[in-house]
């Protein structure tokens, strides 16, 4: 796991996606669907 050397991460975008995932989980959405909607792995 990790990122490609020399490629910078957009920490603001990562935080925004994380908060969106938390909101969806609080609304009762299953983890698998949250991951699908956000385009990420659930692990």
Q: What is the mean pLDDT of each run of 10 residues along the chain (43 residues)?
A: 76 96 98 94 71
Q: How far apart are CA 20 and CA 36, in angstroms?
A: 13
For residue 39, the tally of other CB atoms under 10 A from its CB is 7
pLDDT at 1: 58
pLDDT at 8: 85
pLDDT at 42: 63
pLDDT at 4: 72
pLDDT at 2: 67
pLDDT at 36: 95
């Amino acid at each position: 796991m990790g990122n490609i050397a020399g490629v910078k991460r957009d920490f603001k975008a990562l935080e925004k996606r994380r908060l969106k995932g938390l909101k969806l989980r609080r609304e009762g959405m299953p983890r698998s669907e949250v991951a699908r909607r956000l385009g990420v792995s659930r692990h």
